[in-house]
């Protein structure tokens, strides 16, 4: 039985990936120079990734039938994040992007540009938001009920004098 299972599994290297179809397929270079085209890549529900050439994979050939294999896992040690603590989880790319679920309920996201698209709203329920850079907006911002674009000031003085603070509640 042990040899039967060993014959059903093959370790190989990804040569090409095709993620255009409903079930991704890979071209695999297996042991002894064997090349298999269109090997289906089974992925966990809710997660997909198109591996780079050179990634390592484990393919299974059910019933030792070499005509139809499935890749059950792909790994790429060239880019894998190292040094995670027990229980931590991370997503990563070869370009250095990462989402790291750290111990202590800390979530780090590292990328060059982060785009969030929400058709209704984005909500933050936190006591503090900090920023180390400039914040830009195409529309108005409301802070403590005061519009930054459309708010009256009290104690307006003519000339180069300073007006008083914005009057509250005119959003």
- The ranges assigned to domains in the chain are 2-75, 79-114, 143-171
Q: Which of 31-40, 45-54, 75-84 has the lowest mean pLDDT?
A: 31-40
| Beta strand pairing call for 56-60 and 9-18 | antiparallel
pTM, rounded to two decimals? 0.77
pLDDT per residue as tens digits for the range 92-151? 999 999 999 999 999 999 999 999 999 999 999 999 999 899 988 889 988 888 888 888
**Distances from the Cα of 93 to the Cαs of 6, 14, 54, 71, 132, in angstroms?**
31, 16, 14, 20, 25
Residue 152 burial (CB count, 10 A)? 13
- Summary mean pLDDT of the chain: 90
**Confidence (pLDDT) at 5:** 59
Distance CA 70, CA 72 (A): 6
Domain spanning 2-75: CATH superfamily: Nucleic acid-binding proteins (2.40.50.140)
List the one residue out of 3, 2, 1, 4 whose CA is nearest residue 63. 4
**Confidence (pLDDT) at 52:** 97
**Confidence (pLDDT) at 155:** 81
């Amino acid at each position: 039985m042990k040899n039967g299972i060993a014959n059903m599994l093959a370790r190989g290297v990804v040569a090409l990936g095709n993620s255009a179809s409903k079930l991704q397929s890979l071209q695999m270079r297996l042991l002894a120079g064997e090349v298999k085209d269109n090997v289906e890549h089974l992925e966990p529900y809710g997660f997909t990734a198109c591996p780079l050439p050179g990634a390592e994979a484990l393919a299974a050939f059910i019933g030792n039938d070499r005509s139809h294999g499935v890749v059950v896992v792909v790994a790429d040690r060239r880019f894998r994040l190292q040094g995670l603590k027990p229980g931590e989880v991370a997503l990563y790319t070869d370009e250095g992007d990462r989402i790291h679920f750290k111990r202590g309920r800390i979530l780090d996201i590292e990328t060059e540009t982060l785009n969030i698209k929400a058709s209704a709203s984005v909500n933050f329920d936190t006591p503090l938001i900090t920023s180390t850079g400039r914040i830009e907006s195409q529309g108005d911002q409301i802070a403590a009920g005061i519009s930054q674009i459309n708010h009256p000031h009290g104690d307006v003085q003519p000339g180069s004098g300073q007006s008083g603070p914005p009057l509250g509640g005119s959003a």
